[in-house]
């Protein structure tokens, strides 16, 4: 069976700088199991392929699959679904985070025929086999679909699909189906080296209970992992076949089982793979000993979800960390020469101006190497989504298309601070951070240029970032 897998575009631009498209790891994993089952697969990533529809029509797929998060990419996915259903008369199946959290609403859209709930590997293979052999769809676990009789639509939710217990049993992602070079971000027309064009998923899920995160529903608060041996095998394959220098660990939480991480790092060093990496880490899980192993294995950057400088807000969102733990984590990174990036969110329900001032002051005290700051948006599947709806702070869209249109601007008044003030505060906080960082960043990048041959355009890119902070 010929199967086309589509990654709809996010197409976000700011100040002439395009946000770097990330390689569609989820689709590469689906493609791998489908090919293993004898199907012919093509991937169309609308983020990097502007003129690829002609090739898709030439491929003449018998099934088209879409992946989507909540947000603007839903609209592009729906537009492409309509194109394929109209011109090729081919069924469409959606999967990913948003369709998993709202499957019935997703399938209710006339441009969507079926929906995969949860992990897609086993479900997509069974679905393809059923379609190819004209078998009953009701036997496919994890599938939501619809029957249409005389204009009457009946949505059918099959039995749920259990989680894949042995992640080591999955084949390597089908990297040969994309051109990783297309995922280098550009700045001022110059290709810049990214931290990684290649990603490795060493685990799935997260055992923690953050109220803003969809994971408590999507992965049911379960954490499953690949063995250290399998992770090394996958990285070795990428090194040998694609000569990689860096990878991103695309885990929801890389550092859950510390002994596993230590073993991965030891094996990376022992096998002399010479691969640098970045990963997500909770501040309460990082220790000096673990950081030594991470550095030994080639860790260049750790991403911390700090979220707030207000202890009250941290308790409210059930983050399960303390501000001293965040301070310690960043100090450890500085000591071990690992770049630290910290994410923050303002505009949580119940948040006050005093809470935001505490966050602003804490960012200064924490002094990580980089920050990401966003205004809170209630994502479906999260506890705070339910809280916002229950307390009449937010009316969720009733149609799939509306999730794309409303999320494009995401103008929701959920805290006691007016939205226009939140927007101004977010810009001010980011601007202040990078203005303070400007002298040290210039020195560090110049040192990197001399010692590590960091390309000049990376310095230029950071320079533009700082100038933007001054002038925005």
Residue 8 reports pLDDT greater than 80: yes
Mean pLDDT over 60-78 rounds to 94
Note every long-range contact of 237-241, with CB atoms under 8 Å and residues 24 or more positions apart, other chains counting: 237/172, 238/175, 238/198, 238/200, 239/273, 239/275, 241/175
pLDDT digits (tens, 9 = 90+) for 157-210: 999 999 999 999 999 999 999 988 787 654 434 344 444 579 999 999 999 999
Of 166-170, 318-322, 366-370, 407-411, which gets the smallest average pLDDT? 407-411
Asked whether residue 380 is assigned to any structural domain, the reply reads yes
Rg (CA), the chain: 23
Give the residue from 397, 417, 437 where a domain finishes: 417
Domain match, 253 and 384 both: yes
DSSP, collapsed to helix, strand or coil, labels residue 276 as strand
Mean pLDDT over 120-144 rounds to 96
Q: Which of 416, 471, 452 is nearest to 193 (CA)?
A: 452
End-to-end CA distance of the chain: 51
Residue 16 reports pLDDT greater than 50: no
Mean pLDDT over 51-56 rounds to 88
Domain match, 133 and 260 both: no
What letters, b where the CB count within 10 A reaches 16 and e where it falls short, cover 233-250?
Answer: ebbeebbeeeebebbbbb
CATH of the domain at 11: 3.40.50.280
Domain match, 143 and 223 both: no
Asked whether residue 465 is assigned to any structural domain, the reply reads no
Asked whether residue 294 is assigned to any structural domain, the reply reads yes
Mean of pLDDT over the chain: 88
Domain match, 206 and 143 both: no
Domain match, 202 and 131 both: no
Mean pLDDT over 91-119 rounds to 96
Asked whether residue 166 is assigned to any structural domain, the reply reads no
Mean pLDDT over 7-15 rounds to 65
Residue 149: band (very low, low, confident or very high) from pLDDT cuts 50, 70, 90: confident
Residue with tokens 């298309």: 401
Counted domains in the chain: 2
Of 8-22, 137-151, 207-221, 241-255, which gets the smallest average pLDDT? 8-22
pLDDT of 408 reads: 57
Q: Can you read off the two tokens belonging to residue 306? A: 């700090």
| DSSP conformational letter for 278 | E
Residue 467 reports pLDDT greater than 80: no
pTM above 0.95, yes or no: no
CATH of the domain at 292: 3.20.20.70
Residue that wins the pLDDT comparison between 463 and 327 = 327
Domain match, 402 and 254 both: yes
Asked whether residue 76 is assigned to any structural domain, the reply reads yes
Domain match, 127 and 199 both: no
Give the residue from 402, 417, 432 where a domain finishes: 417
Of 18-27, 250-259, 295-304, 391-400, which gets the smallest average pLDDT? 18-27
Domain coverage including residue 370: 195-417
Give the residue from 157, 185, 213 where a domain finishes: 157
Asked whether residue 202 is assigned to any structural domain, the reply reads yes
Domain match, 246 and 323 both: yes
pLDDT digits (tens, 9 = 90+) for 294-336: 999 999 999 999 999 999 999 999 999 999 999 999 999 999 9
pLDDT of 66 reads: 98
Residue 341 reports pLDDT greater than 50: yes
pLDDT of 364 reads: 96
Domain match, 297 and 152 both: no
Residue that wins the pLDDT comparison between 12 and 365 = 365
Domain match, 403 and 328 both: yes
Domain match, 258 and 315 both: yes
Asked whether residue 177 is assigned to any structural domain, the reply reads no
Residue 71: band (very low, low, confident or very high) from pLDDT cuts 50, 70, 90: confident
Percent above pLDDT 70 for the chain:
86
Domain match, 92 and 234 both: no
Mean pLDDT over 209-216 rounds to 91
pLDDT of 227 reads: 97
Residue that wins the pLDDT comparison between 192 and 472 = 472
Asked whether residue 258 is assigned to any structural domain, the reply reads yes
Q: Which of 365, 380, 355, 384 is nearest to 436 (CA)?
A: 365
């Amino acid at each position: 069976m010929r199967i086309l897998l589509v990654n709809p575009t996010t197409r976000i631009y700011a100040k002439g700088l395009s946000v770097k498209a990330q390689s569609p790891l989820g689709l590469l994993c689906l493609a791998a199991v489908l090919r293993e089952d004898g199907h012919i697969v093509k991937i169309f990533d609308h983020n990097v392929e502007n003129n690829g529809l002609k090739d898709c029509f030439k491929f003449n797929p018998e099934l088209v699959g879409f992946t989507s998060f909540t947000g603007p990419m839903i609209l592009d996915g729906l537009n492409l679904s309509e194109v394929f259903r109209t011109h090729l008369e081919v069924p469409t199946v959606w999967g990913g985070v948003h369709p998993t959290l709202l499957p019935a609403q997703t399938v209710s859209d006339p441009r969507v025929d079926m929906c995969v709930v949860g992990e897609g590997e086993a479900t997509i293979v069974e679905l393809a086999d059923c379609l190819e052999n004209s078998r009953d769809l009701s036997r496919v676990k994890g599938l939501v679909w619809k029957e249409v009789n005389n204009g009457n639509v009946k949505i059918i939710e099959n039995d749920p699909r259990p989680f894949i217990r042995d992640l080591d049993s999955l084949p390597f992602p089908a990297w040969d189906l994309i051109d990783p070079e297309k995922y280098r971000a550009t700045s001022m027309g110059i290709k810049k080296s990214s931290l990684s064009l290649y990603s490795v998923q060493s685990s799935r899920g997260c055992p923690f209970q953050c109220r803003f995160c969809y994971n408590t529903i999507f992965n049911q608060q379960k954490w499953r992992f690949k063995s250290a041996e399998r992770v090394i095998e996958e990285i070795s394959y990428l090194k040998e076949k694609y000569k990689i220098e860096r990878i991103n660990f695309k885990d929801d939480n890389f550092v859950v089982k510390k002994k596993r991480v230590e073993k991965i790092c030891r094996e990376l060093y022992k096998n002399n793979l010479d691969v640098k990496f970045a990963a997500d880490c909770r501040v309460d899980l990082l220790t000096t000993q673990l950081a030594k192993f991470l550095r030994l294995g080639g860790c260049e950057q750790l991403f911390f979800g700090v979220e707030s400088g207000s202890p009250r807000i941290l308790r409210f969102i059930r983050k399960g960390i303390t501000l001293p733990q965040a301070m310690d984590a960043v100090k450890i990174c500085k000591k071990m020469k690992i770049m630290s990036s910290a994410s923050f969110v303002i505009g949580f329900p119940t948040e006050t101006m005093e809470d935001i001032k505490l966050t602003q002051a804490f960012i200064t005290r924490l002094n990580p190497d980089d920050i990401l700051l966003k205004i809170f948006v209630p994502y479906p599947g999260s506890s705070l989504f339910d809280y916002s709806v229950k307390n009449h702070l937010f009316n969720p869209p009733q149609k799939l298309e509306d999730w794309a249109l409303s999320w494009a601007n995401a103008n929701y008044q959920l805290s006691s601070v007016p939205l226009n003030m939140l927007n101004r505060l977010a810009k001010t906080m980011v601007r202040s951070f990078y203005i303070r960082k400007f002298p040290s960043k210039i020195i560090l990048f110049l040192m990197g240029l001399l010692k590590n041959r960091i390309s000049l355009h990376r310095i230029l890119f950071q320079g533009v970032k700082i100038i933007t902070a001054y002038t925005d």
